[in-house]
Structure 1
Amino acid sequence: MGSADGQRPNFVYILADDLGYADLGCTGAVDAQGSPVDVSPRLDGLAREGIRFTRGYANSPVCSPTRLALITGRWQYRLRAGAEEPLTAGASGDKIFGLPPSHPTLPSLLGGAGYRTALVGKWHLGYPPQFGPRLSGYGEFYGFHAGGSGYFSHCDSRGKADLWLNEEPLSEEGYLTDLLSKRAVSFIQRQTPAQPFLLSLHYSAPHWPWLSRDDESESRRIGRNLKHTDGGSLQTYQRMISHMDEGIGWVLDALDRQGLADNTLVVFTSDNGGERFSNNWPLTGRKMDLLEGGIRVPLIARWPARWAGGKVCDLPNQTMDWTATMLDAARVPPHSGFPLDGVSLLPALSASPSPAPFNRDLFWRMKHREQAATVRGKWKYLRVDGHEYLFDLEADPAERANMASREPGYLADLRHAWNVWNEAIPPIPDDAGVSLVFGPGDLPVATF
């Protein structure tokens, strides 16, 4: 399906990094005193103009696996890199994994069908020379390869410069979030209705280090210590979100100026749940957990040519479903040798006046604490450290009332569904590593 007049849509897919479920104004952001805070006026406006999803799920509670699912439209576990977090740069003794350039991707499929494609921001799917955005279908790249970047130094956690224009290192002054926003605007200003485009705008914000535009001196103080365990605050974190929100406003304004807004599908979400300063209320858990706080993320979509605005939708969906949705909207089939695991949301979202039923199980697994999860409608099966739980997410989104003994039939059904799914995909390799960024003293430990 295309737009109302048959013209293929443009896509702007905006990915925040480690943003919590309730970190936006429209999802419940509050200040340190518990009062509502106006942290994201442009994204709140996008939600009013489009659809806000209350049950948008990331494919993983950590970064690179979700990004693999997004770019391939498939379970990240089908690729060896999907079992590893963080991906490394090939230092002595490190394993080297990434997205194989031979694997079809959203940008390669769209590019092959005549779309202009660009990634602005974070890649984190493997390091050059073996891997890179332009080896995997993007026509343009401006951003960084690592999992985190200094907002002023533009260096990775080893202190190595990591800002690039295509394959060339780049030296620029400025706050990283603003540089990415301005580059995205520059790309849109070069577009016309004659040729559709995909813009992937993958911010570092609000990932550590916790630095706003006003914190350049703090950036110099921490130097290579990008994890910033001795710094940050809720106020700084929320300013980082506001800077990102302002930049997204620049992008939306550029679409308006170019006459492209009506037939552009804009999607905003996060790669996983939030961490140190994030707000996930009423959910519990955070990044690294298969509790809702680790996988349920803010999700907003706007496409004026096709969808009426002002809707709130409780349709459960995962990151890779948006890959399938964009390909469906562009009328571009997936590669026959790499069938999609994601499912297009277009049929459900095109129903009027509300989304049509969408009966489908969602699955996760995580080597850390041997976690497993299945979501089916309101029910969720969770296994952690050998213990099993069953939650009614409608009545208990905080996942505190374990219904396993009261509803043994649901527990057995969802456990069986997970086992069948798990047997159909490659196992997690014994040497796969998923490491915590922060220790027990730095983050509250989720209780199950």
Structure 2
Amino acid sequence: MKNVKFLLTAACALFAVAATAQTDFSSPQYAKWGDTPEAREQNILNSNFLKESCDNREYNQAAHYFQELVKNCPTASENIYVRGAVVYKNKINRAKSLAEKNQMIDSLLLTYDLRAEYFGDHPKRGRAYILDRKAREFVTFKPNDRAGIRQAFREAIEAAGENPDPETIVLYFGNLCDDYKNTDEVMPDEIIAEYDRLTPYFANNPEAAEYKNQFDAAFGLSGAASCENLEKLFRAKMEAAPDDEALLSQAVSLMSRAKCDGDYYFSLAEKYYQVKPSSETAMFLAQAFQNKGDYAKATKYLNESLAVEQDPAERQKLLVRIGLVELVSNNMQGAAAAARQARDLNPEDGVPYFILAQCYAASAANCGGFNGQATFWAAYDTMAKAVELLQDDTDYLPAAKTYLAAYRSRFPSSEECFFNELQEGARYTVNCGTAAGVATTVRAR
């Protein structure tokens, strides 16, 4: 096979020589290939040989032709550097020692530097494009040179001016955050400063919403986005632009992700809700105030949002949240009312049943005697439905199963059923508490 490749290469070389022999290289169109007709002819032949060597995977030969072309006519063709990158990437993969591999990596990166120097003004594949590709190669082939990776990406972003590739920003910032977490080379102030500097680029590219989410997530997970640091970042910015809705949204989102619970955070969150009320923001605020123990404010925001929300799915979510907040604040009537409405909107959601069952069980103490014990039949039935619907919900299912066993243990005994003239399996309607009117079945514990 190697002999066949050699013969093909030789044949192509003869063809190239024959073709160039009939060309007038003194013509101005060939000036970029050399100072004399003879030099131009040889350099064009070397360019052809470079292409053929790459096609035949003879990368040592190709490297020789590439070096000759860079030395003798570096501005002749962009393809010299495109093929040069192909050559050195393949030589990296074929290197027989670490020293050789590192040498080939340096040669690859130099190829991009040379291309940027000689073809950086290309209208589509100019300096920004070239340095972007170089930065990605840097990550691939020199993953341990953290400072070099950061510098390569910074140069690429700077070269792009006002319109860098959002993916490139995310790659750079993700590596920067990784270095903050894993090395001593990056300080939290640098993470915050870079986040601040790079955020406006996404405003110029609204189609890059997914990259913006990744960018914000990297910041939120970096550890640099502490509540103290975030407050320092946004306090000054909000004072300068108090009516900037996008900035307000960004501040609330990041401080929420950092689980902030200070007065400044709550003031921003409430202001954002006033500017842009929505069920999503209401639930977010409700959770925040619930965590703070301010259940009255939590239900206030949820009910305000419910009053204007028209989407049944969003209404159902709001009602579930209201039920949960009322439950933890021990308002069983309010929790049961919200849970029933949520259940009616989506009978396949297990959480409303989870809430209702607890409301029924909690009211048993107020009923007293056998009527109170009978309430646990309704609580058990309702929690069993919750368990059935929550099979894939790791947040609620364990608690639902625990409650289910507890409710069964509170059933009346066989003797208590007998003395109340009730037979097991008979129908029974609960007559007190939040479960009043609920039909169930007589059972003994």
Fold shared by both chains (TM-score > 0.5): no
Relative contact order (C-alpha < 8 Å, sep 6+): which is higher?
1
Bigger CA radius of gyration? 2
- Specify which structure has the higher proportion of helix: 2
Q: TM-score, normalised by structure 2?
A: 0.21
